[in-house]
């Protein structure tokens, strides 16, 4: 197992820099507590990179990422580009190119419901009790990366969806391995009644499943899966799916936990790994110190876990869980104690650094400002 020393930090756009600042704060707490020497090297990506260099993924950023042990990413996206969808350069291209260049073929998005947040979900509480699922989204193939084109007169456009057997095999193996350490169940989500690529997915995943005889494999069409996700999400353990279906399903799954601001993700390839929140750049909140840093902080915990720093990761999970249970959170979660983005970072820092012993959350005032 590789060791974790150098971390490329790409704060990106919108609320990215704010949530990333809190995440670095938490990793500094881990550095101090465990005498680690995690190093952070910052670089631009997305809209800010276009502004500074003309490119959404500058070569220098790519080099830094390639020579680091892991990449931490904030968020990408700028509403200015939604006005000019025809533009040849877009911030999102930076993220897509980075995933491709680093070979990050598997995107892991865990979704776990919290009893104390159940009232915030638009879904009925009895539906979301005990949800604990992981979406495995293929990340470097499919319709996202197929050939695209458009006629000059705007009369026709196309996006090709191609999957190669090996692309399916490698993400499927990771998903089966994960299911082995969980509830031993995989659901392959596809559209095999219509799409040839989905039929290939079914036959390849079926073959791979023979290597994992203890794991139950079942199948759902994507249209049915989106319905099941809101009717009975607790039925799922590991969901395995293609790039675009995984993108859509994971946003849908975020309503289960009450806020997309809580969902982390890990993107894993053969030689590189990247960790980023599922949420976007939330430009309306940029610079206001009110965004939820938890998704990015939990992404950092997934990074530590990936490098077998289990105790360190558990410290972060424990501290975040405590804030959730005691309802000390950012405003979108309508908490008992409102915190700003940076105040929540400070509280999580203290919970980790003080070993959670001396910290009395009852002393935090239930006003809009936090006094410890």
For the question of residue 69 being annotated catalytic, the response is no
For the question of residue 223 being annotated catalytic, the response is yes
Sign of CA dihedral 218, 222, 227, 229: positive
CB closer to ligand IPM out of 96 and 162 = 96
Q: Minimum distance between the CB of residue 244 and ligand IPM, rounded to whole angstroms? A: 8
Region of 59-67, 100-108, 147-155, 247-255 interacting with Mn ion (CB under 5 A):
247-255
Region of 88-96, 182-190, 211-219, 332-340 interacting with ligand IPM (CB under 6 A):
88-96
Residue 103 CA: distances (Å) to CA of 74, 157, 299, 325, 354 = 19, 27, 19, 37, 38
CA atoms of 177 and 156, how far apart (whole Å): 42
Q: What is the DSSP letter of 87?
A: -
Catalytic residue among 25, 33, 185, 191: 191
For the question of residue 144 being annotated catalytic, the response is yes
Q: Minimum distance between the CB of residue 12 and Mn ion, rounded to whole angstroms? A: 14
Q: Minimum distance between the CB of residue 51 and Mn ion, rounded to whole angstroms? A: 23
CA atoms of 188 and 207, how far apart (whole Å): 13
- Which pair of tokens denotes residue 4? 């974790």
Q: Which listed residue (39, 92, 101, 252) binds ligand IPM by CB under 6 A?
A: 92
The residues in 47-86 that bind ligand IPM, with binding defined as CB under 6 A, are 76-77
Q: Minimum distance between the CB of residue 130 and Mn ion, rounded to whole angstroms? A: 25
Catalytic residue among 81, 144, 219, 338: 144
How many CA atoms within 13 Å lie on the side-chain side of 30?
A: 27
For the question of residue 151 being annotated catalytic, the response is no
Q: Which does 76 bind (CB under 5 to 8 A by kind): Mn ion, ligand IPM, none?
A: ligand IPM
For the question of residue 251 being annotated catalytic, the response is yes
| 292 Rama class: left (phi>0) / alpha (psi -120 to 50) / beta | beta
Short-list 40, 33, 48, CA closest to 89: 48
Q: Which listed residue (247, 312, 315, 343) binds ligand IPM by CB under 6 A?
A: 247
Q: Minimum distance between the CB of residue 222 and ligand IPM, rounded to whole angstroms? A: 16
CB closer to ligand IPM out of 94 and 258 = 94
DSSP string covering 247-315: HHHHHHHHHHHS-GGG-EEEEE-SS-EEEEESS---GGGTTSS-S--HHHHHHHHHHHHHTT-HHHHHH
Short-list 200, 197, 245, 205, CA closest to 223: 245
- Which pair of tokens denotes residue 221? 């069409």
Say whether residue 247 binds Mn ion (CB under 5 A). yes
Place of tokens 């599922």: 278
Region of 11-19, 91-99, 111-119, 180-188 interacting with ligand IPM (CB under 6 A):
91-99
Q: Which does 95 bind (CB under 5 to 8 A by kind): Mn ion, ligand IPM, none?
A: ligand IPM
Q: Minimum distance between the CB of residue 253 and ligand IPM, rounded to whole angstroms? A: 12
DSSP string covering 165-190: HHHHHHHHHHHHHHHHTTTSEEEEEE
Instruction: Please report, as ranges, the residues that interact with Mn ion according to CB under 5 A.
Output: 247
Active site residues: 144, 191, 223, 247, 251
Residues in touch with ligand IPM (CB under 6 A) = 76-77, 92, 95-96, 247
């Amino acid at each position: 197992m590789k060791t974790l020393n150098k971390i490329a930090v790409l704060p990106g756009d919108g609320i990215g820099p704010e949530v990333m600042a809190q995440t670095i704060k938490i990793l500094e707490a881990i550095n101090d507590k465990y005498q680690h020497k995690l190093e952070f090297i910052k670089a631009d990506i997305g809209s800010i990179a276009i502004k500074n260099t003309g490119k959404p993924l500058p070569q220098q950023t790519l080099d830094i990422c390639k020579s680091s042990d892991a990449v931490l990413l904030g968020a990408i996206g700028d509403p200015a580009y939604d006005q000019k969808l025809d533009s040849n350069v877009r911030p999102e291209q930076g993220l897509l190119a980075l995933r491709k260049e680093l070979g990050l073929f598997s995107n892991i998005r865990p979704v776990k419901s919290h009893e104390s947040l159940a009232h915030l979900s638009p879904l009925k509480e009895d539906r979301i009790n005990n949800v604990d699922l992981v979406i495995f989204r293929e990340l470097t193939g499919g319709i996202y990366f197929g050939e695209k084109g458009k006629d000059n007169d705007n009369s026709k456009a196309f996006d090709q969806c191609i999957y190669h057997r090996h692309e399916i095999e490698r993400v499927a193996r990771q998903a089966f391995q994960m299911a082995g350490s969980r509830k031993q169940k995989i659901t392959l989500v596809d559209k095999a009644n219509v799409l040839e690529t989905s039929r290939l997915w079914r036959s390849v995943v079926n073959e791979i499943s023979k290597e994992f005889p203890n794991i139950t494999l079942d199948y759902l069409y994507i249209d049915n899966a989106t319905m099941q996700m809101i009717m009975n999400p607790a039925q799922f353990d590991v969901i395995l799916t293609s790039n675009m279906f995984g993108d859509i399903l994971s946003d849908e799954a975020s309503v289960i936990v009450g806020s997309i601001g809580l969902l982390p993700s890990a993107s894993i390839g053969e030689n590189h790994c990247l960790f980023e929140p599922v949420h976007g750049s939330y430009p309306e909140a940029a610079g206001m110190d009110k965004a939820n840093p938890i998704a990015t902080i939990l992404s950092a915990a997934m990074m530590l876990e990936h490098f077998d720093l289990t105790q360190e990761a558990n410290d972060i999970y424990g501290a975040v869980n405590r804030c959730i249970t005691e309802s000390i959170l950012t405003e979108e979660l309508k908490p008992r104690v409102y915190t700003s983005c940076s105040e929540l970072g400070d509280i999580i820092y203290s919970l980790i650094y003080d070993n959670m012993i001396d910290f009395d959350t009852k002393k935090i005032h239930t006003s809009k400002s936090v006094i410890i």
